[in-house]
Amino acid sequence: MRIFETDLLCMGAGLAGERVAVEAAEAGFNVICLSLVPPKRSHSSAAMGGMQAALGNSAMSQGDSPDVHFTDTVKGSDWGCDQEVARLFADTAPIAMREMAHMGVPWSRVVPGVHTYYKGGKPFEAEELAEKDGLIHSRAFGGTAKWRTCYTSDGTGHSVLFTLDNKLLQLGVDVHDRMQAEMLIHDGENCTGAVCRCLRTGELVIYRARVTLIATGGYGRIYSATTNALICDGGGQITALETGCVPLGNMEAVQFHPTGSVPTDILLTEGCRGDGGTLLDVNEYRFMPDYEPEKAELASRDVVARRMTEHMRKGLGVKSPYGDHLWLDIRHLGEKHITTNLREVYDISTKFLGVNPVHQLVPVRPTHHYSMGGVRINKDGAAYGLRGLFSAGEAACWDMHGFNRLGGNSLAETVVAGRIIGKKVVEYLQGTDSIFHTVHAKDAVKQVQERISAIANARNGKENCYELRSILHQTMMENVGIFRNGKDLQSGVDTLQELLARSENIGLQGHNKGFTPELSLALRMRGMIKLGICTAYGALMRTESRGAHAREDYPERNDEKWLNRTLATWKEGDSLPTLSYEEATPWYEIPPGERGYGGGKTIAADIPEDKIRPFGA
């Protein structure tokens, strides 16, 4: 059995993992990055629209500042975020974007007099506002007071990921692709690496590490209709949950993106609406201003997704063999704009949907997109429960997003949090000695081997992992979707508990007992069901509506009772996670109030004076 030793083990080689790796490698530490796929195929490459940072370079971002960005982020989170982290993020984002430019990201730049600005689908003049030639440009995104989303056409994730991947090559970072982490190595107090499985050979490999970072992305594949890639199965969160001592935070906070394409569910960037695109119903009527007169299509994502669903419930959706949908209209932006600034949208529409967005409407509907919840970490990126374990990016609950993240904030989070957490990892490595006890690695290997053997030899039964996944998908879509209620959530929890019991008896349907994709899914299945239960059970217990968590039976945001964060820990042998709660934020620069969009009522809470800090202090 191969054994590797390193200072930092990054589980995941997307933007967050690679940005942390850069910090550690530049400080002189050995780094190994693991990836299910070649790193340039990480799901970060699919991110399109851009990264939010208050640079104030474009005509429509004059007067922007980290204070305004912080305010937008807190309101977007529906006061569910950690305001200390949101402040850290907003203040650091402009620095991080300029650093990425220095590393080589080809940001779209300001060219005075060339850009056309749209609002409500109509062009307007902005020449009276000075633009600064050659600086990083920005576009509008939902829920923001200013245009601050830095972009590279609509291929931002691709551009930044390729830049960081090249940086890792320059720094000599080892990348082990086609490698799946199966279990963390730990003694209940300290994490000292992971047991992984080679997806080429099926061989188990031990990685001993002074610091282990979970940066494996989201867990969207517990839903059937999702913009997430096939690799976004929650593998990192599963390894943390199965320790029994590392909690997952706010798992009920799940975001549906307004513009998933129909029928593929491939994302069509918010940049479409930011650049002036509109949403139309079956009558080709623009309906969003009726619901949200101020923000229209550029209210926050949770609000737009709900309004679209409400509109379709009224019978105003477009009927199709794939269910009801609405239309995205970007025709008025013109061929040049669509084939340059929205070129990936053009390619996706023409090649996957058979629709030319220059001349035709594009079918869209809300689709699962993002996980605000994840491995609970503190502001330094250190996971609760185990020393030496860190997390970053969508895999983590940092928690700057609260119960709804703004478009552009998550992609920015990867490099901003990666920068901040990377520096804290370096501090940890510089100040901490590690001792590797072979007994813990051997025990972890034994557990993984026994699990593989039981599945491969059908020792416990012949449950089909693909059938179980189909039931998981159906349950999550029907019971834990955009709108939720107690009856459906309870039904979902009950179904998932039954599914968890059945997962004990998974056996391979194929005859190959070596590496197969079926074995990979079979090993993940039990953990994916647990993630579904954490999501559904957390949503059932949270009797309020906040951000993307919308309870039809509890429509008010209840700050008096629920101004907190859910922590889910799973003890071995339990059929449900143990839920506990912590304060949403240690202090408030912005006490809870109205978001300014989305409607809804609030049950107010009295915030103690010692919890309130001067704004911007």
d(CA 584, CA 218): 21
Which DSSP string corresponds to 111-142? Answer: -TTT--EEETTEEE--TTS---TTSBPEE--T
Residue 106: φ, ψ to 5°: -85, 70
**Boundary (domain end) residue, out of 347, 368, 389:** 368
* Any domain includes 53: no
The span from the CA of 181 to the CA of 194, in Å, is: 6
Q: Following DSSP, what letter does each residue of 246-277 receive, concatenated?
A: -PEE-TT-EEEEEEEETTT--B--THHHHTT-
**Is 557 exposed, middle or buried, given 0-12, 13-18 or 19+ CB atoms closer than 10 A?**
buried
Residues in the chain: 617
Q: Is residue 455 located within the same domain as residue 546? A: yes
pLDDT greater than 70 at residue 513? no
CB atoms within 10 A of CB 113: 7
Answer yes or no: is pLDDT of 271 > 90. no
CA–CA dist 584, 82 (Å, integer): 6
Per-residue DSSP letter, 145: S
pLDDT value at position 437? 83
511 is catalytic: no
Q: Are residues 355 and 262 in the same domain?
A: yes
Any domain includes 130 = no
Q: Once rounded to an integer, what is the mean pLDDT over residues 488-502?
A: 97
Q: Note whether residue 226 is domain-resident.
A: no
| H or E stretch at 184 | strand 179-186
pLDDT digit string, tens, across residues 364-394: 999 999 999 999 999 999 999 999 999 999 9
pLDDT of residue 128 exceeding 50: no
pLDDT over 90 (residue 120): no
Kindly provide the residue ranges of all beta strands, DSSP E only, lying in 469-563, ordered along the sequence.
Answer: 483-484, 550-551, 557-558
132 has pLDDT over 50: yes
335 & 458 share domain: no
454 part of a folded domain: yes
Model confidence over 423-467: pLDDT tens digits? Answer: 999 999 998 887 788 899 999 999 999 999 888 876 557 899 999
Task: Report the C-alpha gap between 75 and 470 in whole angstroms.
Answer: 36
Residue 45 pLDDT: 84
Same domain, 363 and 482: no
Final residue belonging to a domain, choices 316, 337, 368: 368
Give the confidence band of 117 by pLDDT, cuts at 50, 70, 90.
low
Q: Could you tell me the residue range of the domain that residue 261 belongs to?
A: 257-368
pLDDT at 567: 98
Residue 23 in domain: no
In the predicted model, is pLDDT for residue 130 greater than 60? Answer: no
CA distances 458 to 360, 455, 505, Å, are 52, 5, 8
CATH number at residue 450: 1.20.58.100
Catalytic option among 257, 301, 469, 557: 257
Would you call 597 exposed, middle or buried from its count of C-beta atoms within 10 A (0-12, 13-18, 19+)? buried
Do 570 and 466 share a domain, yes or no? yes
The reported pLDDT for the residue numbered 169 is 92
Q: Which of 69, 273, 524, 526 is catalytic?
A: 273
Q: What is the pLDDT of residues 481-492, one digit of tens each?
A: 999 999 999 999
- Assess if residue 1 is contained within a domain: no
| Neighbour-count burial of 354, counting CB atoms closer than 10 A to its CB (0-12 exposed, 13-18 middle, 19+ buried) | exposed
Q: Which two tokens stand for residue 376?
A: 């609970």
Name the average pLDDT for the chain.
Answer: 92
Please indicate, yes or no, if residue 599 is contained in any of the structural domains.
Answer: no
Mean pLDDT of 563-577: 95
Structure tokens given for 565: 């964060």
Nearest to 195 by CA among 528, 8, 504, 440: 440
Q: H/E element holding 163?
A: helix 156-171
| pLDDT of the residue at 111 | 78
**Looking at the 3D structure of the chain, how many domains does it have?**
2
Say if 567 falls within a structural domain: yes
Identify the CATH number of the domain in which residue 283 sits: 3.90.700.10
Active site residue 473: no
